[in-house]
Amino acid sequence: MSVIVNRSLVVLGSTGSVGCNTLDVARHQANSFSVKGLSARANVNLLFEQIQVFHPQLVAVENIAAATVLEDRLISEGLTSTKVLKGEHAATKLVEELRPDVVMAAILGSAGLYSALRAVELGGTVLIANKEPLVMAGHLFQQAVKQSGATLLPVDSEHNAVFQCVAGSDVVDQPISEIVLTASGGPFFREDELPSWVSLSDITPDQAIAHPNWSMGAKISVDSATMMNKGLEIIEACHLFELPVEKISVLLHPQSVVHAIVNFIDGSSIAQMGLPDMRVPIAYAMSWPHRFDSGVANISLAEVGQLTFRDPDYQCMPCLALARDVAEEQSPVLATALNAANEVAVEAFLAGNLSFGKIPEVIAKVLGDRNGNPANDVETLIRVDYEVRKQTLDLVH
């Protein structure tokens, strides 16, 4: 039974998959959470529906035109108790004004960097669901945690699983020999005989986003198909658990039942299992250090029948190889370049302007033009992000 009572909650990226699941858990645990703020980029139709249910004090909308439409609709429907913040930094202002007990940081891509980092700087509990801020600036997040005393909890299923395996204690003090992140293999790397990358050159967007296990947005589904998603998770894990990349490995596990394994120096291994439903890691992060009902059933291993595992082939998975190389460099600049180039390349692929097979080629070209200079401030990383996006667009065109 939960002992959490009426904690204030802000959901950044509330109209995305993780945001919607977070609100579903909050609705399931209505006595534990009071939703004070929501943010979205432009999907004000769904945001309006969420406002009708949760009646937050503030909402933030990045797209100013969409924010104006929402304001007019709130007035016409008599929902004037909810105020609207507009513009690029609206989500950050939302966090600063509300200073909630819990922030779910789930804004897709690098756009969520400022607001997530600011939430950590203000203290409280921050549930980090979007990989990109930690990939770009994991060292800055760890510095902010130490300075503010904030609690930073991973929501990504694999990192949340690691967190559960070590019982939420400090990984640095644990006798860990290795962390194993599992990968479903997406739609293409699930069989015993893995396809060559060249054979996937003509994959269409509809094929790439058809994930067999998880229900996710288009961008992250493509990342799963290219295995870049798992590469970004390697970098994220290095920062979250303060471990060198040599202690982090990947296993292909098409059933998506085991989400991570932690191997200890005494020969013991602890694995976390559960249905492939994001409400499970979301609920664990929201309830930590306790547990409450997520609305998801326990898994039946008898029904699953068998669990299979195999090592990845980096020759078949060039995006995974690129990301691991960047993790070894320990360079925020290179990690930022990797993330930005990948975002632009995936957008181009989804728009029909770049073939699936060319995604890692474009990323590799961009990385080859960057050095590994350290970056100790957000402004430098944002500048690198902007420059790389422009360069990648030029390459695509």
H helical segments located in 35-125: 44-54, 64-76, 90-98, 113-121
* CA 186/CA 253 separation, integer angstroms: 10
Both structure tokens of 395: 């390459």
Q: Measuring CA to CA, which residue among 363, 327, 330, 128 is closest to residue 226?
A: 363
Mean pLDDT of 7-28: 94
Cβ partners under 8 Å of residue 290, min gap 6: 2, 3, 4
Q: What is the CATH number of domain 7-154?
A: 3.40.50.720
CA atoms of 32 and 51, how far apart (whole Å): 18
Separation in Å, CA 101 to CA 13, 104, 207? 17, 10, 41
Give yes or no for residue 346 having a pLDDT over 90: yes
| Cα end-to-end span (Å), the chain | 56
In angstroms, the CA 266 to CA 183 distance is 25
Taking only the tens place, the pLDDT of each residue in 101-128 is 999 999 987 788 999 999 999 998 999 9
Q: Omega into 289 within 30° of 0, i.e. cis?
A: yes
Closest listed residue to residue 396, CA positions, set 337, 347, 323, 334 = 347
Q: Give pLDDT, residue 2.
A: 44
Query: Between the CA of residue 358 and those of 200, 240, 258, 291, what are the distances in Å?
Result: 10, 31, 31, 44
* CA-based R_g, the chain, Å: 20
- Band (pLDDT 50/70/90 cuts) for residue 1 is very low
Q: Any idea which residue has 């194993």 for tokens?
A: 180
Residue 84's DSSP bridge partners are: 59
Question: Is pLDDT of 215 > 90?
Answer: no
Cα angle 15, 19, 20; round to 5: 75
231: closest CA among 159, 349, 155, 318? 318
Environment class of 247 (CB within 10 Å of its CB; exposed 0-12, middle 13-18, buried 19+): middle
Q: What is the pLDDT of residue 212?
A: 77
279, two tokens = 């409400």
3-class DSSP state for residue 88? Answer: coil
Please report the pLDDT score of residue 172 as a whole number: 58
Predicted pLDDT at 169: 53
Calpha distance 322→22 (Å, rounded)? 32
Q: Which two tokens stand for residue 171?
A: 């990984």
Residue-level pLDDT at 150:
95
Q: What is the DSSP string of 110-128?
A: GGGHHHHHHHHHT-SEEEE
390 contacts: CB under 8 Å, gap ≥ 6? none
Task: Please state, in angstroms and rounded to a whole number, the distance separating the CA atoms of residues 104 and 247.
Answer: 28
Sequence ranges of the domains in the chain: 7-154, 170-275+303-396
The per-residue pLDDT for range 152-173, each reduced to its tens digit, is 999 999 999 999 998 755 565 6
Rounded mean pLDDT, 233-237: 96
Q: CATH topology for 170-275+303-396?
A: Rna Polymerase Sigma Factor; Chain: A (1.10.1740)
Q: What is the distance between the alpha carbons of residues 119 and 104, in angstroms, rounded to a whole number?
A: 9
- Average pLDDT value for residue range 67-90: 95
Is the pTM higher than 0.85? The answer reads yes
Quick: pLDDT tens for 256-305. 999 999 999 999 999 999 998 999 999 999 999 889 888 899 999 999 99
What rounded mean pLDDT belongs to the chain? 92
By residue count, the chain amounts to 397
Q: What are the distances in angstroms from CA 49 to CA 14, 27, 315, 384?
A: 11, 14, 46, 37
